[in-house]
Structure 1
Amino acid sequence: MDALAGAQRALSRPGALLVVDVDGTLADDVTRRHLRPVADPHCLSGLTVAQIDRYMAPELVAMDACVRGAQRFLVSLLRHLPLRGRNLAIVTARWDTLRAITELWLAANYGFLRPCPLLMRRWGDARPSVDVKLELVLQHGAHGVWLDDDPQMLAAAERHGFVTLKAPEVYAPSEEVQCSAER
């Protein structure tokens, strides 16, 4: 797979970081998707804090499904690369008030990715997701691979020297086991 080979090369550099987004990349927001903006469903910019709060309601976030193919792709990527927790960061534009529920969901569905930093937006920070996530990640590393579903986020990451992988397109179709939220 070309994407895997390119990621492997990028991650073999000293200090490289694998950045993995949550919503749309690992988590499929099937129960709350209707609350996203129509104009740009990858970004919550332009919404009020109250509207973002409705989208990020803990009871809805807890019902997220796994994005099909994500588990198999990440297991394959990690199997071939010399990564440890310090070389991996999970980033999300979710409020940091959702940390506990996000950590539980990740442990149940992507436990093989932990331990690693979970970088989250401060509650009430209504800046565009791209700005928030880029700022959070650049505090932990300046190059590597960024896996995300948002084309604007990937363009910004690429401008900052990251090799980018577009989820879920980079995932091969699979017969993988459903995540716990789907059982």
Structure 2
Amino acid sequence: MMIRLLLLTMLVITVPALADDQQRIEQSRQLSMQLGKQLSAELMAAMKAEGPVHAISVCNERAPEIAQSLGANSNAIVGRTALRVRNPNNAPLGEHKAVMDYFKQRIAQDPNVVPEAWFTSSNGEQHYMRAIVMQPQCAACHGANVKPEVQQAILAKYPDDQATGFEVGELRGSFLIRWLDK
């Protein structure tokens, strides 16, 4: 397993994307950025209007809807994953874990870099991942000091939540674009 992890990390780092992949990589980058932008806008509006407890409902309901709508016009599944998930439907595959471990190392080396990766998974799908770095506005629900009423609302929607205790600047997770064709 360790050799496979090391090999995958080396491939993510050293194998340049083929020219044919450049268009797909750019599509993936745009989809991930759109998901981040749309979700962030809705969460910030909910936070401003009714606070973090309300934002949890928005994230629970709207995040999957936004991701699905972005993937609807392409042959891709758009979503998020993390090493510590809130929603068990976003649990990572082993390959995704290896990439996020690499992302953690890259962010630790250079916090100004938002790492991304492009690879073909073991099932033959092409995957794009882009790091989600913990931002200050995310701390109310994902930080180390989540208020009790927010924690209670999180556990009501996500009884097995693992996605708290993060510090600003740490890897929170990854946008994940899985292409269903080559």
What TM-score, normalized by structure 2, do the two folds share?
Answer: 0.28
What TM-score, normalized by structure 1, do the two folds share?
Answer: 0.27
- Report the structure, 1 or 2, having the larger helix content: 2
Rg larger in 1 or in 2? 2
Higher relative contact order (CA 8 A, sep 6+): 1
